[in-house]
Amino acid sequence: MIQVTRKDNKEGLENLIRRFNRKVASAGIITTMKNGEFFTKPISKVERRKKAIIRKARKSEKMKRIRLGQR
Q: Count of domains in the chain?
A: 2
Q: pLDDT tens-digit profile of 24-34?
A: 999 998 888 88
Range of the domain at 33: 1-40
**Res. 71: pLDDT tops 80:** no
Per the CB < 8 A criterion, the answer to whether 2 and 24 are in contact is: yes
In this prediction, residue 3 carries a pLDDT of 87
Q: How confident is the model at residue 70 (pLDDT cuts 50, 70, 90)?
A: confident
In this prediction, residue 15 carries a pLDDT of 92
Q: How confident is the model at residue 56 (pLDDT cuts 50, 70, 90)?
A: very high
C-alpha angle 49-52-54 in degrees, rounded to nearest 5: 110
Helix (H) or strand (E) holding 47: helix 45-68
Count CB atoms within 10 A of the CB of residue 23.
13
DSSP codes joined into one string, 15-41: HHHHHHHHHHHHHTHHHHHHHTSS---
2 and 27 part of one domain: yes
1 and 24 part of one domain: yes
**Res. 67: pLDDT tops 90:** yes
22 and 47 part of one domain: no
